[in-house]
């Protein structure tokens, strides 16, 4: 496993990180075995959010990670999502951030997280209030560093104007061979402000693993076949996209990689990326994904990938954008 610095922080994170998204109805023993497999292969960066299972994901890791010394891993969580049936129990107001950080720490059984991220932007709250509340979390020692996920460049620039150039160390955008939008502006913005990227869905919701085949129904138990499927998967599951992904098979085979390893190595070719968040349904997947950290793709392989995909990669808002545009400022 190789490690990269997280933005302007002094923290190093493993190039492959483990994400825990849904924990309701998931076997806790399976989560434990996947987590232990991560430690076995040098994965030391763990990502979750308060809204995943309305705290269930944090609680699961709170029980599991206590078995490891606190300084042996880097822990990240997020704030924004709805945490109860009350629609007001969400967002990035000062009151919500103060409430949710304490609740997250209780579930995670730690006195601080290494990275606290705004899961989405909150256009209903003055940005000055959100920035001050996040900075207060750091001042109190409840988080070491701050990040954001799926903010527009306008929103990031406005926040940095308020909070200073060291406000954020990380961004968490969607990024994969099939979703390259961050290359247009976000990567350059990060370079200007010392912000690195911890990317989610590097396997395009599993499409880049090759599990979905053209003309075939999604395999039983897969995300596309189950209740977790969302409309955002539809463009990824088009016959045209799946046919393009099929053309990656010989490219991966030629360099002795699985489809997943090829996709992860492709993401990690960018120095702007600090880590690629991966999920796992069994420990063997953790081991296989971790092996991508040692892979450097040559120019010929990168060209072959682009040839295989043609004009399929999404570089604009074909998938529904997660970021809500706009910034609310006090007195404006």
- Residues assigned a catalytic role: 52
Best CA proximity match to 164, nearest among 154, 156, 172? 156
Any residues with CB less than 8 A from the CB of 16 and at least 6 apart, and which?
A: 1, 43, 264, 275, 276, 278, 289, 290, 292, 293
Best CA proximity match to 308, nearest among 242, 232, 235? 242
CA dist list (Å): 202 to 70, 100, 197, 238, 260: 27, 28, 12, 18, 9
Tokens 């085979």 sit on residue: 253
Torsion angle, CA of 310/316/322/325, rounded to 10 degrees? Answer: 170
CA dist list (Å): 260 to 31, 63, 218, 244: 20, 29, 17, 15
CA 332 – CA 328 distance, rounded (Å) = 8
Residue 172 · residue 182 · CB < 8 Å: no
Residue 40 · residue 80 · CB < 8 Å: no
Which residue stretches of the chain are H helix?
Answer: 28-40, 56-65, 94-108, 127-139, 153-163, 186-193, 239-246, 249-254, 259-268, 283-290, 299-309
Cβ neighbours, 10 Å, residue 88 = 9
Measured in degrees and rounded to the nearest 5, phi and psi for residue 8 equal -90, 10
Hey, is 188 helix, strand or coil?
A: helix
Hey, is 277 helix, strand or coil?
A: strand
């Amino acid at each position: 496993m190789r490690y990269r610095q997280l933005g302007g922080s002094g923290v190093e994170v493993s190039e492959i990180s483990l994400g825990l998204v849904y924990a309701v109805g998931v076997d806790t023993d399976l989560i434990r075995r996947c987590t232990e497999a991560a430690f076995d292969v040098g994965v030391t960066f763990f990502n979750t959010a308060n809204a995943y299972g309305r705290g269930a994901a944090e609680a699961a890791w709170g029980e599991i990670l206590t078995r490891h010394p606190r300084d042996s891993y880097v822990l990240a969580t997020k704030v924004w999502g709805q945490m109860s049936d009350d629609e007001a129990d969400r967002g990035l107001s000062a009151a919500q951030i103060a409430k949710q950080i304490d609740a997250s720490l209780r579930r995670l059984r730690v006195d601080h997280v290494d990275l606290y991220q705004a899961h989405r932007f909150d256009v209903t709250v003055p940005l000055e209030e959100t920035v001050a509340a996040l900075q207060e979390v750091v001042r109190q020692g409840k988080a070491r560093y701050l990040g954001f996920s799926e903010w527009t460049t306008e929103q990031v620039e406005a926040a940095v104007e308020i909070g200073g150039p060291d406000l954020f160390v990380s961004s968490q955008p969607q990024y994969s061979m099939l979703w390259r939008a961050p290359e247009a502006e976000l990567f350059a913005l990060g370079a200007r402000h010392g912000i690195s990227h911890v990317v989610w869905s590097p396997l395009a919701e599993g499409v880049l693993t090759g599990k979905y085949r053209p003309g075939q129904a999604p395999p039983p138990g897969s995300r596309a076949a189950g209740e977790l499927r969302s409309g955002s998967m539809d463009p990824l599951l088009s016959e045209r996209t799946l046919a393009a992904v099929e053309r990656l098979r010989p490219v991966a085979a030629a360099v002795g990689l699985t489809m997943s390893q090829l996709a992860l190595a492709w993401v990690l070719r960018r120095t702007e990326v600090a880590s690629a968040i991966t999920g796992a349904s069994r420990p063997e997947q953790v081991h296989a994904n971790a092996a991508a950290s040692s892979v450097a793709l040559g120019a010929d392989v990168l060209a072959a990938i682009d040839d295989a995909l043609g004009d399929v990669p999404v570089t604009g808002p074909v998938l529904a954008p997660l970021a809500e545009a706009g910034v609310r400022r006090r007195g404006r």
